[in-house]
Copies of this chain bind each other. A is one copy, B any other.
Amino acid sequence: MKRILIIDDHKMFLDGIQSLLSNDSEFHVQIINNYVNDHKKIDLKIIDLVLLDINMPDINGIELVRELKKKASHLKVIFLTSHNEAAIVKKAMKANPDGYLLKNTDKIELKTAIRKVLEGNKYFNKQLEEIIYAVNTDIINLSKREKEVLKLIAEEKTTLEISKSLFVSVNTIETHRKNLIRKTGSKNVVGLIKYAINNNLL
């Protein structure tokens, strides 16, 4: 019997998946709705596999994977999320998960993925292969200053206004702006805002 832990901010989703997997006597399922509050209830040592969302209000799923793997290196981890945007998937892959599933996959694939991963394989949605095996463009790693500028952009401030409020030259903010667009793979500020919202940077 394999022990599975699921972390997601939607209780209903948790209850559903737990019910789904508990029909198999093969799995014992524990659920957590809020990692920050409830992680002490869980003994990671006896857990075999963790399913978790990327985008949760209290904690960032990608960083959480790193934390979990540090605490219990035997843990297998599968992302379970609805995000299929290249930038997010790529970022998530950097945390070296054992699997990545989209929430629009069905229960059969879910179980297949869990079994494969427990056997030591990796399992990724077919839809993601293209993204995952794509040439690794620059890693999205925004500096502190860049995030600061991004927040001000998201407040509908112009480059001039930002430069004044940060007491630097307009040229500097323009450079930050260009770097933000380049790093996030956006075409213009629109993509930048979408990235910022998707990645909880605001």
Contacts and interface: CB of A to CB of B under 8 A. Distances in A.
A197 interface: yes
B17 A12 contact: yes
* Chain A, interface residues (CB within 8 Å), range: 35 or more
A154 B17 contact: no
Contacts of A17: 12, 16
B106 A12 contact: yes
Contact of A186 (B13, B19, B107, B156): B156
Nearest to A186: B156
A190 B188 contact: no
A10 B194 contact: no
Interface in A144-159: 153-156, 158
Interface of A: 9-13, 15-20, 23, 33, 80, 82, 101, 103-107, 110, 153-156, 158, 186-191, 193-194, 197
